[in-house]
Structures are given as structure tokens and as C-alpha cells.
Amino acid sequence: MENTLDIPKYTMNEEEEKKEILRKYRALLRALKPKLKPGSKEQVRVAFEIAAEAHKTSRRKSGEPYILHPLAVAMICVEEIGLGVRSTICALLHDTVEDTDITLEMISREFGPEIAKIVDGLTKISNVLDANSSQQAENFKKILLTLTDDPRVILIKLADRLHNMRTLGSMKREKQLKIASETVYVYAPLAHRMGLYNIKTEMEDLAMKYMEPDSYHYIAEKLANTKRERTRYINDFIRPIKEKLINGKFDFEIYGRPKSIHSIWNKMKKKGVSFDEVYDLFAIRIILNSPPEREKEDCWKVYSLVTDEYNPSTERLRDWLSNPKSNGYEALHTTVMGPHGKWVEVQIRTKRMNDIAEKGLAAHWKYKEGTSEENRFDKWFQQIRDMLAAQDTNSIDFLQDFKLSFLAEEIYVYSPKGDIKMLPSGASALDFAFAVHTAIGEKCIGAKVNHKLVPIGHKLRSGDQVEIITSTKQKPKSEWLKMVVTTKAKSKIKDSLKEEKRTIAEEGKSILQRKLDGLGVPMNQANLEEIINFYKLNSSLDLFYDIAVKKIDLRELKDFQVLGDKISAPKIVKPLVEEKALTTLKKDKKDNELIIFGESSDKIMYSLANCCKPIPGDDVFGFVTQGEGLKIHRTNCPNAARLLANYGHRVVKTKWVKNKEISFLTGIKIIGLDDVGVINKITNLISGTLKININALTIEAKEGLFEGNVKVYVHDKDELDDLVSNLKALPGIESVERYDTE
């Protein structure tokens, strides 16, 4: 993979630039050649010329001429996604409407309305009026709206994003974080859903490179260092299988493929193991060239050959031949015990399946032509269309909802009659009920899963057979919202609850009316707002409802001041202690400065996020919260991706300034050999030699090993790193690791 972190300074003169642009353009035409029809080459040229002229004066952050970006995006569309002429034209024009004088009308006149529509879908929304909703969510929604007309929009958008990720090195740090976060949060799962595995993997790896550079480089280096050893193992593993395949007269390809850095990192985190303990650093892939009618049979024959040689794990057989994933993925996966007792994953598929696995949607279309197979993508698009029609447009939860119900891995469950339903993983019996029919969902009181009675919130697993039990007396409840993940179930439950709430609220409204009559003031907007704010509610509906269900006792109304026909709430004095403690910035005393925020560094209230406990020196960003001032998070905080992707506009650039007067509590976990005097050695080093204050220390010994947890006060990350490396140097210490104190 190219190293985008250290891009060389851009040095090219105008002449060289022109040559480079032409070279890229010709390469694009060559790649497109098999798809060119008479006249279409001319159209591509016109699109290229329009784009080149329009972007003539602009440059990318790296210093390159801007036109190289649309050219690269078009190339990704053709080579890596397998799209054709029209998509190439759209990719070339994708940034013109947003950044130059070109208008959609001009594009429509030149290339027709279909292309204009796709380009429109690719044009970002620049003026978002509602400052509260995330601009990213709005843009994303717009892409989806167009996607439902033409899926190519999303594919070109993914190509655009991939190229931006590949060239992220020249962006500012906070931009890098924001773009990388969005990418892991939305675009990589979307690429996955579109069946573009290679693009998904590259996006995740690139995002990790910017969000967690240390871990990224650590794993990359480890992978490089162990490559020879791995290659030898793979060859040993493959040899006997290859022989069998040749004897069986198969037309095949077999190779070992390393797993991505990001997926290895995920395994390490999820299972809490070190790099050396991750067993599946690679997978073996067998690709068969089989005629359509023999595909399935051949795959199973090869499975049988492989498992004759190596013992399979019974739990790890995945049959996506009989039930392809909804993104079109078909293959047979098994995990077998290889030489030296190592588990090895083997993936068996045909060339056609491999094309679909790599090029996703576009390849799917190619193979679909002439077959009567029902298109899983069409089904998925229809579901998105339904969701967009049902959503109220301002929902800030939009991205979250979309992710949960459309980008999650999926499970298959069966109705008692054997009909199959696909649901996102995490779906409950109640989700299934709503998927069958709204009326069944609303009346659901329980379910039988594999003939056993379960509650409605029961989480389903792939292969479950589900029978829903209903009662005419049942109706949706607000707790149900926590039991479902599909948008369909959620929006139907919300609709029904709102209806009921409105009916109940009517009663609260008349109670309030009587009280206000008693005070001699009218129930107008101003007075209602005063009361709503006082009780910290969101709407008059909430107020009426809370009154009706007696959650609000209107006794406090007597403390309101009445002036003419206006009422005003009594002032509440809030304790200010906490805020005071956070004000540590003093502009005049430079040495005391803790953090500088952006350009102006006047008094700013901030606090350190509890989720990741940053200390000075950590890679951090500031996040403007509602009501709690600025929160400082580590960039590798578990919440970082979600915050950055959804609320990029609330992220503030932060950096640490050397500070020796304020200390931060942090924890380190030490594992080593249990030895007399080990506690002494550790405490001597920490508080004696390094003069660091210990806040708490616990040591537990077990079977010759000890695990120590030490909480210490350090000034910054340098001091902590120093402490960690000193501890590691002590005899008998196995590992030293930082953890977040509670």
C-alpha cells in the first residue's frame, strides 16, 4: 500500500503537469476500452474537457492540479468497481457543479437528464439551514435519496471517498480525523453492503492509519517481519491440497491472503490477545473455474478434498452457497486444523462468485442479465426507499438508525412455513413480527423460537424458526423501542405511540387550562414556553402528556410571577462549583497554560472525557457538548468515530502545552513473574527513582504470575511512556500496559 503519511513535496512544472494529466486520461480510456461503444469515446472526451477547463485554476491540498482527482475517481470506478461509460462521465464531472461555474442545466443539455441527475446526487449540500442536524447526515440522506433512483450514485461516491482517503496525508490533522471517522462509520460499512470487499478493507485500513497511527504501524511492521515464516507455512499447507485438486482435474487457483491490518487489530482488541496470539492472520482462497450448472457441486467436492486432508472445526462452516448474503456474497468458508495444530480458514468459491465478491453490485448486474434470479439489491433499495419515505426529515438519529438497520451484518430466519426473512443482526422476535406485517407486530405478545416460548425482545440468530404469538388486546408500548433495531418496527411503534400520547395529552391540556384560568392568564405560546422550559421538556405535547399521567404536579405554578397576562418562572440558582474547577487557563502566565484551543486561547471551560481519560501528550480533540462545555477525548476513544462522523462541526482543534504543575490520574497494569520483593522493586522505581506519586496499588498473585494495578499521577504522556519503559526494563516483568482508570 502506498505511504500517504509522508507525501513528498509537490514539485512539477506546468509542462510536466500537462503531460501527467494526459497520461492519466489515456490510461482511463484504455481501461474503459472493452466498454466503449461507437460515439461514447467522444462523450468521455467532452466530459474530460469540460472538467479540465472548469477546474483549470484550482489545486488540491497536496498542490496537484485538481483535475487529477476526478480522473482518479473515474479510474477507480472503471478498474476497481467495474462501472462503464456513463459512470465515468459522472465521475469526471462529480465536483464541477459544487466547485465551479458549471450548472446542472449545462450538464443536462450536453449529456442528458440521466447523467445530470447522478451528478446532482453527488453534489454536496452546501447550505444546510438547520444548524443542529449534522451536515454529514443531511448530505448522506441526499445521496440515499438519489441512490434509490440510480445506485451508481453511491458507487461513484464510494470511489470519491476512497480517493480522498488515499490522499488524506496532505490534509490538516482535524480534517483527517473527521474524514477518517466518517469513513469507518458510514462509507466502509456501505462499501461492504454493496459487496465491495476490497474497497471496504482499504478504507478501514486507511482510516486506522490516521486514527490510530501507533497501532497501525505496529501491526504493519509485525506483518512485514513475519512474512517469510507465513509464506512458508502457507506453501506447506497448500501443497497436498493442490495435488488433490490437480488429480481431481479441477481448473483452479489457490493462494494465501493476509487479513487486513484493521481486522487483525479488531481481533486483538475484541479477544484481548497480542499480535502473536491472533491465529488467523491469513486465509486460504480456492477459486474454481466451473460452469454455472456445476458451481455448487464443485465447491462441495473441493470442501470434501480439503477436509479429507485437514480436520474441520464443526462450528466454523459457513454455507453462503445455499443462502447468499444480501450483498450478493456467495462462498463456502471452513476452518481446518493445519500443520502444527494451527487453525486456518479456507474460502472456496467460483470465478463468478469471486467477481461478485470483489466488484459487488456492478458484477452482480453483469451476471444477472438473462437470469430470472430475484435481485437482492433491488429488495434492499426498496427497503431504503420505504425508510426514507417514513422518516421525518430532521431526525438527528438518522445515521444511527440507518447504520443499525441497513449496514449491519444480517441474519436469516424462517417462518413456520419455511419462508425466509433477512434481518439485521441484533434483531428481535418483535422485529420479525413487524417484518411480517405491521398488524402482527402491534399485536405481538411473544414468540416461539425453534418451538420454545420466548419473550418479544428475544434476540434472533441465523437459522432460527420463528412463530409469532399475537393477542387482540396487545398494543405497542414505549419500552418496545429498546427491543427493536429495524427502522420499520421503530417507526411503526413511534407512530402508534404518538397517536396514543395525543389522546392522553388532551386531558392534561384541560387540566392546565383550568390552572391558568385560576391564575387569570391565557394559555398562549409565550406562557406555554415558560412552563415547558421550567420543566425542561421539549414540546407542549410532552407537557400535556406528563400532566395527564401525573408525572408533573403543577404545584410549582404558584411560584410563577404573574405580570399582566404573562407568567414567568422562578429563577433557579445552579451550583457553579464544578465549572469553576475546570477554569484553569490563565493567559498571562504562560507556563500554566494547559491546552490551547484553536486560534484564541482565552478562558475556555473544558473537562476530560470519562470514557477515555486523556492525559497531556495523548492525541486528542475537543468536542463541544450541549451543556457541559468542551470535552477532551483521545482520538482512539471508543466514542471518537461516532462523535466525529455525526457532529464534525462541533469538533475543536486542541493541543497540549507543556505543564508541570497539574497531574493526571492514570492506570497501568503490570504482569510479571511472582518473585519476592517484586512490589518493592516496582514502588521503588515509581516513587523513589522517578518521583511519581502513587494513588493506589493492588497486586494479585496466581500460579507463579502476578498482576499489579497501579494508579499514578503523571503530568503528561512523555512521563507515562518513560515510566512504562522503565518498568518493562525491570527483571521478570512480562508486560506493562496503560488502562483507563474508573
Residues that bind Mn ion (CB under 5 A): 95, 160
* CA–CA separation, 317 and 295 (whole Å): 18
Give me the least distance between CB of 74 and Mn ion, in Å please.
11
**How do strand 332-337 and strand 252-258 relate by DSSP bridges?**
unpaired
Rank residues 91 and 137 by Cβ distance to Mn ion and give the closer one.
91
Q: What residue type is assigned to position 58 of the chain?
A: S
CA dihedral 156, 162, 167, 169 (to 10 degrees): 140
**How do strand 620-624 and strand 651-652 relate by DSSP bridges?**
antiparallel
Evaluate whether 283 touches 346 at the Cβ level (below 8 Å).
Answer: yes
Give me the least distance between CB of 69 and Mn ion, in Å please.
6
Give me the least distance between CB of 737 and Mn ion, in Å please.
41
Give me the least distance between CB of 206 and Mn ion, in Å please.
16
Q: Is 697 helix (H, G, I), strand (E, B) or coil?
A: strand
* CA–CA separation, 605 and 589 (whole Å): 17
Rank residues 56 and 294 by Cβ distance to Mn ion and give the closer one.
56
Give me the least distance between CB of 482 and Mn ion, in Å please.
39
Of all residues in the shown chain, the one whose CB is closest to Mn ion is 160
For 202, 209, 216, 283, 327, the CA distances from 262, given in Å and listed in that order, are 9, 9, 8, 15, 21
Q: Is 710 helix (H, G, I), strand (E, B) or coil?
A: strand
For residue 634, list its beta bridge partners: 620
* CA–CA separation, 414 and 453 (whole Å): 16
Q: How many CB atoms lie within 10 A of CB 45?
A: 13
Rank residues 95 and 719 by Cβ distance to Mn ion and give the closer one.
95
Q: Is 461 helix (H, G, I), strand (E, B) or coil?
A: coil
Rank residues 160 and 410 by Cβ distance to Mn ion and give the closer one.
160
Rank residues 160 and 212 by Cβ distance to Mn ion and give the closer one.
160
Rank residues 170 and 470 by Cβ distance to Mn ion and give the closer one.
170
* CA–CA separation, 681 and 585 (whole Å): 38
CA nearest 164: which of 72, 79, 101, 247?
72
Q: How many CB atoms lie within 10 A of CB 227?
A: 11
Rank residues 156 and 353 by Cβ distance to Mn ion and give the closer one.
156
Q: What are phi and psi of 385, to 5 degrees?
A: -55, -45
Rank residues 96 and 354 by Cβ distance to Mn ion and give the closer one.
96
Q: How many CB atoms lie within 10 A of CB 97?
A: 20
Among the options 17, 20, 79, 99, which is catalytic?
99
Tell me the HSE value of 134 on the side-chain side, using a 13 A CA sphere: 21
Give me the least distance between CB of 164 and Mn ion, in Å please.
7
Among the options 16, 42, 49, 98, which is catalytic?
98
Q: What are phi and psi of 128, to 5 degrees?
A: -95, 120
Give me the least distance between CB of 94 and Mn ion, in Å please.
6
* CA–CA separation, 135 and 647 (whole Å): 8
For 267, 317, 553, 699, the CA distances from 313, given in Å and listed in that order, are 19, 7, 62, 39
Q: Is 703 a catalytic residue?
A: no
Q: Is 99 a catalytic residue?
A: yes
Give me the least distance between CB of 199 and Mn ion, in Å please.
15
Which amino acids are annotated catalytic? 98-99
